[in-house]
Amino acid sequence: MKSPLEAPEKSRSRGTEETSAKSASRADSSGGERQRPPPATVIDTSKMAKGQREALELAEAARDPLEDRGSFASNLFIGRYDFSRIHPYPTQPVEDRAAGGEFLASLQKYLRESVDADEIDRTGEIPQKNIDDLFAMGAFGVKIPKQYGGLGLSQVNYGRAAMLLGSWDANVTALVSAHQSIGVPQPLLLFGTEEQKKKYLPRVARHEISAFALTEWNAGSDPANMSLRAEPTEDGSAFILNGEKLWCTNLIKAGVLVVMARTPSKMVGGRERKQITAFIVDVDSPGLDITYRCHFMGLRALYNGIVKFTNVRVPCENMIAKEGQGLKVALTTLNTGRLTLPAACTGLSKRLLEICRKWAGERIQWGVPIGKHAAIAGKIAEMAGNVFAMEAMTFLTSALVDRKAGDLRIETAMCKMWATETTWRIADEAMQVRGGRGYETAQSLAGRGEEPVPVERFLRDCRINMIFEGSSEIMRLFIAREALDPHLKVGGAIFNTQLPMSERAKAVLSSGKFYAGWYPRQWLLNGAGKIDNLHETLRGHVNYAARTSKRLARGLFHAMARFGPKLDREQLLLSRFVGIATELFAISATCSYAQWLIGQGKPADEVLSVADYFCRSARMRIDHHFAGTTRNVDKRGYALVQDLLAGKHALLHDGIV
């Protein structure tokens, strides 16, 4: 049986973007609806509640199948560890670095000299001059090709820009990033027609801010609940949009939006399949009203709001991709768009590490600098290791995107989830290291003559990163879905009550035969094989990662055998497997990056000590995750919360205001 679990390592270089765009065009040629088995053959949705089934079927329909050869990170789940895919570290080519050099240098200088982040936070407004200057510099069209008025730079250069922005001002970062990572540029570059690109890309590259409108009151993590309607006009030339969108970042300043709307449903396999379609909508369209500006804990200058559509006419030529492909447009856009946040988080984490390094060296308590107290040193060591790993993972993945090195949706999701959560912890610990000064606002610090170090602003601003562009929980579900995919393809049919018995019996036979070969191999505790040019300290960690990948594959297989089709309900268990794989990816990226830095002449002792620290620390987290797969309180916790939701345990909210 040919299985993705044992697909050979061949057919390199099909990019994430290219892959997705090609798949979309394959879908086009089949008349809009992709000719692929309905999702029911992989996941049994028959026993799910209606809402859950609809959400899952919509997500499955929008999902492009993973390539059989998988990616470095997806293969970690099936015990196929191939370090050669990320080593030597895929560095930025010299020409590419040179191409971005001038822009990045001027962006850095401009931020330092002309963007007053504390003032922006205080006033809740980004001065129009800053926005105009950033447009003039090309900061809103970094990846837009030159022929359409952008800078035409690579993903790595865009990431480096995001790192600079993230280290300075989260409000400006959000403005620039929401505009081009999820706003009009990215979906148009991936799916737009030549006419759409010619019409809109020069505008959004040079002077017009864009935004992305998906979320509604009842549709946050669950777009299947979307209610904004787009009904075709009788003559078929346009759609009429009615409804509202919530929390649309950049809306208040935007000239053009990408709007996700429900178009008429289709019948698939005798059941209604909801259709979501993406449109480009000009903000000055009659019937479009911005009704409210939202305000948040952090990102005080976010131009985020509610937009209402009353009979807004959108011509068909403004549809992105085909009718019904909106969710695919959104998911594919985010597959690479998600890399901006980890790059910005890397910048912020570096800044916070710098703040802590300085403070821990100069603040004397109990007779010594606080960095000499092991409790504080331990926090800063974690920060240093994590900063190193975050940069390694993020720029490894960015470079692979530039090289079109296959489908990288798992890597980008891991980067997003890991970097945003780690940065939150770093900001939290930085506040602790700064003590009372960490909690005090920069303005108050300055008012009494101290250096205005804005740790509290950084903490407030970075919390949202774990919620938007795919919350941490949704990232874990997304990664787990892809992790299970090879197993679902081999054995999913066995448990699928929607399939005829004959097909399920056939699946038992073929998957039994398959696993009889695959499973014993997962017990062979061989390392990563021969790896050229890797320092022995790093080699030890890479071999550990190779062995642990097999242990992970076994664990996942055992869980599938134990829970069968109900495994998807074991979110906490799956999240441990996702946590293990993400740490393995981080260890591997760290080792590859460390070796490259040493090769570049960076002090080997410094590089090795931080990389080694990170890997050891990550291994402890992996131990913890594994321990939780066999010994946990998941079931009890779940039952407890169902009781709570049912109104029991009243004493837990007794005695409060």
Query: How many helices (DSSP H) and strands (DSSP E) are in the chain?
Result: 23, 10
Smallest distance from ligand FAD to CB 206, Å: 22
How many Å from the N-terminal Cα to the C-terminal Cα in the chain? 64
Strand, coil or helix: 575: helix
Which of 247, 279, 303, 614 lies at the binding interface for ligand FAD (CB under 6 A)? 247
Judged by CB under 6 A, does residue 290 bind ligand FAD? no
Residue number with CB closer to ligand FAD (76 or 213): 213
Q: How far is CA 125 from CA 31, 116, 253, 268, in A?
A: 47, 11, 11, 48
Per CB under 6 A, 304 contacts ligand FAD:
yes
Q: How far is the CB of 350 from ligand FAD (least distance, A)?
A: 23
Which listed residue (216, 244, 469, 583) is catalytic?
Answer: 469
Give the separation between CA 43 and CA 52, rounded to whole angstroms. Answer: 12
Q: Which stretch binds ligand FAD (CB under 6 A): 198-206, 296-304, 368-376, 399-407?
A: 296-304
Q: How far is the CB of 469 from ligand FAD (least distance, A)?
A: 6
User: Half-sphere exposure of 323 toward its Cβ, with a 13 Å CA cutoff?
Assistant: 18
The piece of 124-132, 165-173, 205-213, 345-353 that touches ligand FAD (CB under 6 A) is 205-213
> How far lies 569's CA from each of 254, 552, 564, 574, in Å?
40, 19, 10, 9
Q: Which CB, 79 or 342, lies closer to ligand FAD?
A: 342
Within 524-583, the residues that bind ligand FAD by CB under 6 A are 571
Q: Candidates 20, 196, 249, 340: give the one binding ligand FAD (CB under 6 A).
A: 249
d(CA 286, CA 361): 60
Strand partners, 248: 305
CB of 218 to ligand FAD, least distance (A): 8
- Whether 552 and 77 have beta carbons less than 8 Å apart is answered as yes
Burial of 462 (0-12, 13-18, 19+ CB in 10 A): buried
Write the interaction track for ligand FAD spanning residues 460-479; mark x where CB under 6 A is met and - where it is not: ----x--xx--x-xx--x--
Q: Is 495 in the site for ligand FAD (CB under 6 A)?
A: no
Q: Which is nearer to ligand FAD, 52 or 498 (CB)?
A: 52
Element (H, E) at 580: helix 571-599
469 noted as active-site residue: yes
List Cα–Cα distances, 528 to 19, 149, 244, 655, in angstroms. 28, 46, 52, 58
Is 127 a residue that touches ligand FAD (CB under 6 A)?
no
Judged by CB under 6 A, the chain residues 172 through 201 that form the site for ligand FAD are 178
# chain residues binding ligand FAD, by CB under 6 A: 23
Instruction: Tell me the closest approach of the beta carbon of residue 536 to ligand FAD, in angstroms.
Output: 42
Backbone angles phi, psi at 238, to 5 degrees: -155, 175
212 lies in the binding site for ligand FAD (CB under 6 A): yes
Which one, 213 or 610, has the nearer CB to ligand FAD? Answer: 213
Q: With contacts defined by CB under 6 A, name the span among 71-79, 202-210, 213-221, 268-276 that binds ligand FAD.
A: 213-221
The total number of residues shown for the chain amounts to 657
Burial of residue 588 (number of CB atoms within 10 Å: 0-12, 13-18, 19+): buried
d(CA 518, CA 262): 43
Residues that bind ligand FAD (CB under 6 A): 178, 211-215, 220-221, 247-249, 296, 299, 302, 304, 464, 467-468, 471, 473-474, 477, 571
Residues forming the active site: 469
